[in-house]
């Protein structure tokens, strides 16, 4: 690598980190986390959001799609995006938008990490995860799909997204491994978001049994535990130390 190329990568890397910190600063300075967990806040703003969606469906879809990509690029975790997608767009359109956008965002993050932060990723992650190299060398697409399916074996989402830098996985296989491997668990979370919207719409202030007694809530939860059990089986088979 010549000096000018190295300087260019340092500039792009520094710019990315700057955008990351600025985005996180404005997020946590403008949003009160307590409001996001307040039932009254959610209910009072639900109709505003859904009305805006009806009036500006394609615009909101586009904005949310781009936001998801940027959010994943900024190392954000996926669960809030999935719940919001189900809550606002419903489970079918919601999973389509969320799955495709997060897969694109994760792939772009993977490419950027490989270009600008490869040495850093290798220094931090190789000592702990280099044991996976044997599996990736055999069939990185299938193994990465299983890796995504089991939620990365408990590895945080942002680290999952950059970990394949260690194994020189192709961007194409990375994208499709993310797309298909993440589908089951993401669909369950999006369905839960859609179920929450329906329960809120049908109840002024639902009690415990009104909430968890709804099939729109307990079926995704059952699905989550089924995925968890299958994930444990796959983890024991493919992720043994």
pLDDT of residue 127: 79
Alpha-carbon separation of residue 74 from 66, 71, 105, 118 (angstroms): 12, 5, 9, 17
Is the whole model's pTM more than 0.75, yes or no? Answer: yes
Which residue ranges make up each domain of the chain? 38-238
Minimal CA–CA distance to 109: which of 34, 171, 152? 171
From first to last of the 241 residues of the chain, give the pLDDT tens digit.
Answer: 454 556 656 666 666 666 666 666 665 565 555 554 455 555 666 777 777 788 888 988 998 999 899 888 888 788 888 888 988 898 899 999 999 999 999 999 999 888 888 888 888 888 777 777 777 777 888 888 888 887 776 778 888 898 888 888 899 999 999 999 888 888 888 988 888 777 776 665 555 555 556 676 777 778 777 877 777 776 666 555 5
Cβ atoms < 10 Å from Cβ of 168: 12
């Amino acid at each position: 690598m010549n000096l000018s190329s190295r300087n260019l990568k340092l500039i792009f890397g520094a710019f990315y980190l700057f955008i990351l910190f600025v985005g996180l600063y404005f997020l946590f300075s403008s949003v009160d986390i307590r409001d996001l967990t307040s039932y009254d806040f959610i209910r009072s703003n639900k109709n505003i959001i859904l009305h805006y969606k009806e009036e500006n469906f394609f615009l909101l879809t586009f904005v949310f799609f781009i936001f998801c990509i940027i959010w994943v690029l900024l190392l954000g975790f996926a669960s809030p995006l999935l719940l919001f997608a189900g809550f606002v767009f419903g489970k079918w359109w919601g999973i389509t938008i969320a799955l495709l956008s997060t897969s694109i965002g994760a792939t772009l993050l993977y490419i950027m990490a490989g270009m600008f932060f490869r040495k850093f990723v290798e220094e931090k992650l190789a000592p702990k995860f280099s044991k996976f190299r044997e599996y990736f060398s055999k069939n990185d697409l299938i193994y990465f799909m299983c890796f995504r399916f089991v939620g990365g074996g408990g590895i945080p989402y942002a680290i999952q997204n950059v970990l394949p830098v260690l194994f020189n996985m192709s961007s194409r296989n990375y994208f499709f491994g993310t797309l298909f491997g993440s589908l089951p668990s993401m669909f369950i979370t999006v369905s839960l978001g859609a179920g929450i919207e329906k329960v809120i719409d049908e109840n002024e202030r639902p009690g415990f049994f009104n909430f968890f007694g709804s099939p729109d809530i307990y079926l995704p939860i059952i699905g989550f535990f089924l995925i968890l059990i299958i994930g444990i089986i796959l983890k024991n088979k493919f992720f043994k130390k």
